């Protein structure tokens, strides 16, 4: 075996794995379907010199191994920033996670009803998002925030969503482990007895978040690895027993393969394996970004803000300056507006039809004083930003993973998109570091395992 590894997808997961394998002397080939590397962690640099990430992107980890890896990769090109996230609710900007000082800004009747929810507990009857949230935080907070925000975000009813979306989503939005979100009582205690948590993030000093992937890509290339962009896998050349021995790309190149790691779309993999209708399908949500450059500065100091009201079209806005002032031209403000949708929807097909809606939203949200202050706007369509955790997704994903493992003996799924995992960059990094360790140990012994042996994320998929 020559140790020829092909990695599909040049996002954080694929590049971290390629970095480790190339460091050990292998020469991986990465195949990326987009014109640029970085996946969901890429950045956009426009002629106006502003740099935008895909929504708010910053590094945060409690894992010392991952922390060290980020520091080693970015070296001196790293700054530490304090978190400042907010929630727009009832016409007000409130800190998120909410603090004692701001609890009193909420309508008093709502506060009383939320407190009564503590006395009349709700027992979850299903594994749904709805039941999970009501059991943990009560009906009042569910109706006031979780339901309208989630249904707007995913365009899916909360009773048909799996509780995993809630568990991952609440952790993702809260971040700081000092805020105990395990129940309404614990949350209230956190709010009453702790100060606003001072979470620290890491962010590149130059460029946007995408600098991390750019550095990894440079290292991989310098060690003899290859990265093909704008390239798709057209076909696998497969031997008896399901062993992939080559990958044919859309440009007609055949790349020899001893092992394939797939961090790309699972629907594309189903097509490559000519899956029958019995093999479950899973669905992703996509995002349209409206990246604005406007004159003047906004007074709200947030890095990102959630917009909970159902009748506000926008899910979240982030302000690149508050991650790093150097990525925004002087005297200007950059605003990254996220609108989630499905591919093929009206928003996806013709986002410019909605820029007027976005701009009047900015006026109402007090983030723009006049439409004349808009200097520049770029639209980015980003595929598969989130896995859709429908109520029956564990069964489907287990069926799909089983089919992958039975179809190919030397293909492993990695990363957020490849493992249908609502994760963060640090999780993709941690998992790829573990995959690399296991793979290299097996490679040194001369006996590689089947793909499922290299699935290294720390999430559970309930039976």
Q: How far is CA 129 from CA 140, 175, 256, in A?
A: 15, 19, 44
Of 11, 28, 308, 387, the one binding ligand FAD by CB under 6 A:
11
282: contact with ligand FAD by CB under 6 A: no
Cα 105 to Cα 452: distance, rounded to the nearest angstrom: 50
In which element (H, E) is residue 434 found?
A: helix 425-445
Cα 228 to Cα 444: distance, rounded to the nearest angstrom: 27
229-268 footprint of ligand FAD as x/- string (CB under 6 A): ---xx-----------------------------xxx--x
169: contact with ligand FAD by CB under 6 A: no
CB of 140 to ligand FAD, least distance (A): 28
20: contact with ligand FAD by CB under 6 A: no
Q: Which is nearer to ligand FAD, 43 or 405 (CB)?
A: 43
DSSP letters along 373-416, please? Answer: GEEEEEEEEEEEEEE--BTTHHHHHHHHHHHHHHH-SSEEE-HH
217: contact with ligand FAD by CB under 6 A: no
Size of the site for ligand FAD (CB under 6 A): 36
Cβ atoms < 10 Å from Cβ of 128: 21
* Cis upstream peptide for 357 (omega within 30°): no
CB of 329 to ligand FAD, least distance (A): 23
Q: Which is nearer to ligand FAD, 137 or 420 (CB)?
A: 420
8: contact with ligand FAD by CB under 6 A: yes
- CB-neighbour burial class of residue 96 (10 A; exposed 0-12, middle 13-18, buried 19+): buried
Of 28, 56, 207, 451, the one binding ligand FAD by CB under 6 A:
56
Q: How far is CA 135 from CA 98, 126, 148, 156, in A?
A: 20, 11, 17, 20
DSSP state at residue 313: -
Of 28, 55, 320, 451, the one binding ligand FAD by CB under 6 A:
55
324: contact with ligand FAD by CB under 6 A: no
Of 324, 417, 420, 456, the one binding ligand FAD by CB under 6 A:
417
13: contact with ligand FAD by CB under 6 A: yes
CB of 442 to ligand FAD, least distance (A): 22
Q: Per the structure block, which two tokens stand in for 209? A: 């978040």
Of 40, 70, 170, 317, the one binding ligand FAD by CB under 6 A:
40
14: contact with ligand FAD by CB under 6 A: yes
Of 411, 415, 430, 436, the one binding ligand FAD by CB under 6 A:
415
- CB-neighbour burial class of residue 109 (10 A; exposed 0-12, middle 13-18, buried 19+): exposed
**β-strand partners of 285:** 386
Q: Which is nearer to ligand FAD, 61 or 410 (CB)?
A: 61
CA nearest to 400, candidates 11, 392, 457 = 392
CB of 197 to ligand FAD, least distance (A): 16
Torsion, Cα of 102, 103, 106, 110 (10° steps): 180
Cα 199 to Cα 84: distance, rounded to the nearest angstrom: 9
Chain positions 423 to 452 lying near ligand FAD, rule: CB under 6 A, are 423-426, 428
Of 17, 21, 29, 39, the one binding ligand FAD by CB under 6 A:
39
79: contact with ligand FAD by CB under 6 A: no
CB of 8 to ligand FAD, least distance (A): 5
**β-strand partners of 336:** 291, 318
Of 4, 6, 7, 9, the one binding ligand FAD by CB under 6 A:
9
DSSP letters along 108-133, please? Answer: HHHHHHHHHHHHS-----SSBHHHHH
Question: In 303-354, which residue ranges form alpha helices assigned H by DSSP?
Answer: 346-349
Chain positions 123 to 162 lying near ligand FAD, rule: CB under 6 A, are none
Q: Which is nearer to ligand FAD, 128 or 303 (CB)?
A: 303
317: contact with ligand FAD by CB under 6 A: no
**β-strand partners of 29:** 6, 226
Binding residues for ligand FAD, per CB under 6 A? 8-14, 31-34, 39-41, 54-59, 232-233, 263-265, 268, 338, 385, 415-417, 423-426, 428
């Amino acid at each position: 075996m020559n140790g020829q590894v092909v990695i599909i997808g040049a996002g954080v997961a694929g590049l971290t794995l390629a970095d480790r394998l190339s460091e050990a002397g292998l020469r991986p080939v990465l195949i990326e379907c987009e014109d640029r590397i970085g996946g969901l962690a890429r950045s956009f640099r426009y002629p106006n010199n502003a740099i935008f990430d895909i929504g708010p992107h910053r590094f945060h980890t409690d894992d010392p191994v991952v922390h060290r890896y980020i520091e080693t990769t970015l070296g001196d090109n790293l700054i530490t920033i304090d978190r400042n996230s907010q929630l727009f609710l009832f016409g007000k900007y409130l800190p998120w996670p909410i603090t004692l000082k701001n609890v009193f800004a909420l309508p008093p009747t709502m506060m009383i009803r939320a407190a009564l929810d503590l006395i009349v507990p709700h027992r979850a009857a299903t594994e749904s998002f709805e039941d999970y949230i009501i059991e943990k935080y009560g009906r009042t907070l569910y109706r006031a925030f979780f339901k309208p925000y989630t249904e707007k975000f995913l365009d899916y009813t909360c009773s048909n969503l799996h509780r995993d979306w809630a568990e991952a989503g609440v952790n993702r939005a809260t971040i700081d482990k000092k805020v105990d979100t395990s129940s309404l009582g614990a949350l209230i205690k956190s709010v009453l007895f702790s100060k606003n948590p001072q979470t620290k993030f890491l962010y590149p000093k130059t460029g946007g978040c995408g600098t991390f992937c750019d550095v990894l890509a440079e290292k991989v290339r310098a060690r003899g690895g290859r990265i093909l962009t704008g390239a798709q896998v057209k076909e696998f050349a497969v031997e008896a027993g399901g062993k992939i021995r080559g990958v044919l790309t859309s440009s007609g190149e055949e790349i020899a393969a001893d092992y394939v790691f797939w961090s790309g779309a699972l629907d594309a993999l189903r097509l490559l394996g000519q899956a029958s209708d019995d093999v479950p399908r899973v669905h992703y949500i996509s995002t349209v970004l409206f990246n604005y450059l406007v004159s003047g500065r906004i007074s709200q100091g947030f890095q990102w803000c959630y917009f909970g009201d159902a009748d506000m079209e926008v899910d979240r806005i982030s302000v690149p300056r508050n991650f790093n002032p150097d990525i925004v031209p002087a005297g200007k403000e950059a605003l990254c507006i996220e609108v989630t949708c499905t591919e093929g929807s009206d928003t996806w097909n013709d986002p410019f039809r909605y820029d007027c809606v976005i701009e009047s939203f900015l006026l109402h949200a007090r983030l723009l004083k006049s439409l004349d202050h808009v200097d520049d706007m770029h639209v980015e369509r980003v595929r598969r930003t989130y896995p859709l955790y429908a109520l029956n997704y564990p069964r489907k994903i287990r069926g799909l993973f089983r089919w992958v493992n039975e179809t190919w003996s030397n293909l492993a799924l990695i990363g957020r998109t490849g493992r249908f995992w609502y994760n963060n960059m640090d999780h993709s990094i941690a998992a790829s570091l573990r995959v690399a360790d296991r793979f290299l140990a097996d490679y040194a012994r001369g006996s590689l395992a089947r793909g499922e042996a290299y699935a290294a994320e720390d999430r559970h998929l309930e039976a």
